[in-house]
Amino acid sequence: MTDLTPLVFSAFGLVLLASAVGVIVARNPVHAVLFLVLAFFTGAGLWMMLEAEFLAITLVLVYVGAVMVLFLFVVMMLNVDLDRLREGFWKYFPVGAVVALIMVVEMVLVVSSRQFSTLGLDGLPAPASYSNTRELGLQLYTNYVYPFELAAVILLVAIVAAIALTLRKRKDSRYVDPSAQVRVKAADRIRVVSMPAEKDPS
Amino acid sequence: MNFTPPLLAPAYPEIFLLMALSALLLLDLVVPDNRRFLTYAYSQLALVATGVLLVGGATGHVFSTFGGMFLDDPLARSLKVVALLAMALVLAYSRTYNQRHGLFRGEFYVLTLFALLGIMVMISANHFLVLYLGLELLSLSTCALIALQRDSSVATEAAMKYFVLAALASGLLLYGLSMLYGATGSLYMPQVANAIASGVADPAILVLGLVTRRAGLSFKLGVVPFHMWVPDVYEGAPTAVTLFVSTVPKIAAFAFFVRMLVGTLSPMVSDWQSMLVIVSVLSMLVGNVTAIAQTNVKRMLAYSTISHMGFLLLGILSGTVGGFAAAMFYVVAYVLMSLGAFGLILLLGREGFEVNSLDDLKGLNKRSPWYAFMMLLVMISMAGIPVSVGFFAKLSVLSAVLDAGMTWLVVFAVLMSLIGAFYYLRVIKLMYMDEPSDISPLVAEADHRILMGLNGMAILVLGIVPQPLIDLCMFSVTRSLGSG
């Protein structure tokens, strides 16, 4: 039986590249977002092949599941005027091309430099019982518990700061108070008036 | 896998502060607006209890816990006590101001205490990831504090500037840290120090990393050429927040410099010494010369801070234990002076009115001789005139530089303090010789009056008998860094 790994890798890689190109050439922003979702999915597939299942699952859950859905909402809500966005394309093209060229050169330098040549190449295929997620969890909750807790505190500060800076009590807006609604009694709503029965005049 | 649970005892103060903070978040929810004093009293109580834990647990020895990420040494203990004291004074001074300016809210206390937690984490960090997380905790809380006065466009602008520049500085710092990790293969400070000392690390990468890391650090300390945010933030932020920004975080920045440069990179002393000389010279020059032209008292103090930080770096760049102790003395003295100066400016402000112009200080002696005297003490101390703590701070830093053999630097620093003396003395002239434009007597609450008095007396007393504080700094530094 032949090894299918190169074939699967090429398939994922091609789809990833094609969808990445799709993100930037798609005319419709909703299509672009959907292409980005596809790119994340195939990227997650590649990570899965590297046995980094935790990263792969997180990418799908967090980025595809939460961030991209939010993105899609924003893109749909905002009516982006495409023609105005495309107006300056040729004007900015030379600058963009120079930046892109510099980035390509840098990447080639980094990848081919000796500093990075030894990184991550010593890994033999791990035994079948090896769980990437378990190892990460063990590190995170034992050796790195202190930074982990600190990161949690920073998130707490972010929540406090965001609420402190944005919460405005609007006194003029009409709203329903559920607590008052629940506490209401029949007597508050209907007044039972007892009055003598009246005879039909006729 | 083998794992022994970390020893928590050295970190009790931090753990307690975090728990007290979480309780404050909940407590604040049920406290009605007119009983906000409870939140204030609770915060002060939390500070006092943390201080008791800190002092009670002090042993004078070096411990590390959390797998070596948390370091508890005499230096950390003393710096944390200073930070707590300064924080308590910040909260006490700003209480009346906060009530008048709509800042007397739970968020102010929660965020300042979070910032304090970040400072304590940085002081005790022995791992670069922890150092970075502490820094972010401090920056994020500070940024939110500056923007807390939401309807003020100046404050929002200041917060925006701080946020963007802090993000840039964090990026630079992380870039430098990644270089360090790439060259040495570790983020634990002792291991990094070993790798550098043994010479296995590539020096080119180390120096590049050092440059970017130091740039990030310089932003935090607010020294030239990363000082542009300082005057704008000092001016734009509510004065209560300026009081905080100008005092407590400087202690953390000092600890950061010491831990990174002295604790870890001491084999590279010749590399970072020359960098610090440039930064320090520029800070003293730009700070002192620009301060002369200022008419806004907060901006003037901001430039004065920049020049003080240049002086502080002098102590660190001398590269000797005596120099680090002198720098520590300087930072404590600076915090005392800055607390006094901004405490008085807070007091002068009224409902919906902030003291901004130097002219508002005119004739302060006629309105309140006591406060004018306190401000006089602060100013002569900032100028470094004898019989004040500022004099000894400058003297000890300069003698450390002289010991390191850089006489020209000492001469330059003395010249710069002479220029600086001009604008400090101008404040004294305004207070004592000019006629006040507003003759209403100053009214202040009893606690503010007593604390201002104590603060001024501390400047005077430490100026006459500085030895105990010098001894404490020497003790902390030699016990913690002496062997390295």
Cβ of A115 and B205 within 8 Å?
yes
d(CA B324, CA B312): 9
pLDDT at site B46: 95
CATH number for position A58: 1.20.120.1200
Instruction: Find which of A110, A154, A163 to mutate to test the B interface (most B CBs within 10 Å of its CB).
Output: A154
Residues 63-102 of B with CB under 8 A from A: 66-67, 69-70
The residues of chain B scoring below 70 in pLDDT are 1-2, 350-354, 482-484
To the nearest whole angstrom, how far is the Cα of A166 from the nearest Cα of chain B? 9
Query: How far is residue A47 from each of residues A20, A68, B40, B212, measured CA to CA in Å?
Result: 17, 19, 51, 32
Residue B338 is encoded by which pair of tokens? 């800055």
Confidence of residue A124 (pLDDT cuts 50, 70, 90): low
At A82 the pLDDT is 66
Give domain status of residue A200, yes or no.
no
- pLDDT classification of A6: cutoffs 50, 70, 90: confident
A95, A138: one domain: no
Q: Could you tell me how far CA B121 lies from the centroid of its own chain?
A: 14
Residue A28 is assigned to a structural domain of this protein: yes
Q: How far is B12 from chain A (nearest CA, A)?
A: 13
Q: Taking residues A174-195, what's their average pLDDT?
A: 82
Residue A177 in any domain: the answer is no
Taking a C-beta distance cutoff of 8 angstroms, is the pair B165, B118 a contact? no
By the 8 A CB rule, do B304 and B338 touch?
no
* 8 Å CB contact between B298 and B239: yes
What letter would DSSP give residue A28? S
Does A118 lie at the interface with B, CB-CB under 8 angstroms?
no
A47 and A127 part of one domain: no
The amino acid at B361: L
Please report the number of interchain residue pairs, chain A to chain B, with beta-carbon separation below 8 angstroms. 64
Q: Hey, is the C-beta of A143 within 8 angstroms of any chain B C-beta?
A: yes
* B14, B16, B112, B133, best to mutate vs chain A, most A CBs in 10 Å: B133
Q: Please answer yes or no on whether A164 and B6 come within 8 Å at the CB atom.
A: no
Residues A140 and A91 in one domain: no
Q: Do B111 and A160 touch (CB under 8 A)?
A: yes
Contact of B150 with chain A, judged by CB distance below 8 Å, is answered with yes
Amino acid symbol at B84: L
Question: Last residue of some domain: A95, A116, A137?
Answer: A116
Do the chains contact at A161 and B141, CB–CB below 8 Å?
yes
Last residue of a domain, one of A116, A142, A159: A116
Look at residues A116, A149, A179 and tell me which one is the last residue of a structural domain. A116
Residue B349 contacts by C-beta under 8 Å, 6 or more apart in sequence?
Answer: B97, B100, B101, B239, B355
Q: Which residue of A has its CA nearest to B141?
A: A157
Euclidean distance between CA atoms B327 and B404, whole angstroms: 14
Number of domains in chain A: 2
- The residue that leads in pLDDT, B323 or A114, is B323
Q: Does position A187 have pLDDT exceeding 60, yes or no?
A: yes
pLDDT score, position B159: 92
> Do B266 and B202 touch, CB atoms closer than 8 A?
no
Same domain, A147 and A101: no
Instruction: Determine contact, residues B131/B161, Cβ cutoff 8 Å.
Output: no
Q: In this structure, are A79 and A7 located in the same domain?
A: yes
CA distance B327 to chain A (A): 29
Query: C-alpha angle B185/B259/B417, rounded to 5°?
Result: 140
Q: Whole-angstrom Cα distance, residue B102 to residue B480? A: 43
Question: Among candidates B278, B263, B343, which has minimal Cα distance to B89?
Answer: B343
Q: Over range A23-27, report the average pLDDT.
A: 86
Sign of CA dihedral B43, B49, B53, B56: positive
Residue A190 domain-assigned (yes or no): no
Which of A146, A158, A164 has the CB atom closest to B70's CB atom? A146
Q: Is residue A197 part of a domain?
A: no
Q: Is the peptide bond before B10 cis (omega within 30 degrees of 0)?
A: no
- Is the Cβ–Cβ distance between B337 and B381 less than 8 Å? yes
Is a pLDDT exceeding 60 seen at residue A72? yes
> What whole-number distance in Å separates Cα of residue A55 and Cα of residue A57?
6
Query: Quick one: pLDDT at residue A39?
Result: 94
Question: Residues A99, A130: one domain?
Answer: no
Is residue A6 domain-resident? yes
Q: What is the mean pLDDT of residues A166-184?
A: 79
Q: What is the mean pLDDT of chain A?
A: 84
CA dihedral B125, B126, B127, B130 (to 10 degrees): -10
Measure the CA–CA gap between B384 and B376, rounded to whole angstroms.
Answer: 12
Across the interface, do B129 and A138 touch by the CB < 8 Å criterion?
Answer: no
| Residues A3 and A100 placed together within one structural domain of the fold | yes
Looking at the structure, tell me whether residues A60 and A145 fall in a common domain: no
- Tell me whether residues B144 and A146 touch, CB distance under 8 A: no
In a domain, A148, yes or no: yes
Tell me which of B8, B110, B135, B162 to substitute to probe the interface with A (most A C-beta atoms closer than 10 Å).
B110
Closest Cα in chain A to B17? A153
User: What is the spatial distance between Cα B360 and Cα B53, in angstroms, rounded to a whole number?
Assistant: 42
| Same domain, residue pair A125 and A96 | no
pTM for this entry: 0.86
A86 and A7 part of one domain: yes
Which chain A residues contact residue B66 at CB under 8 A?
Answer: 145-146
Structural domain boundaries, residue A159 = 118-167
| Mean pLDDT for the stretch of residues A83-97 | 80
Q: How far is B130 from chain A (nearest CA, A)?
A: 6
Contact between B134 and A150 using a beta-carbon 8 Å cutoff: yes
- If one counts every other C-beta atom within 10 angstroms of the C-beta of residue A92, the result is 11
**Residue B291 corresponds to which amino acid?**
A
* Same domain membership, residue A154 and residue A106: no
In a shared domain, residues A68 and A82: yes
According to the model, what pLDDT value does residue B351 have?
A: 60
Q: Which two tokens stand for residue B193?
A: 């120090």
| Across A80-85, average pLDDT | 68
ipTM confidence: 0.89
Q: Which helix (H) or strand (E) holds A84?
A: helix A82-86
Task: Specify whether the CB–CB gap between B162 and B141 falls below 8 A.
Answer: no
Q: Is residue A175 part of a domain?
A: no
Q: In this complex, do A147 and B133 lie within 8 Å of one another by their Cβ atoms?
A: yes
- Min distance B24 CA to chain A CA atoms (Å): 12
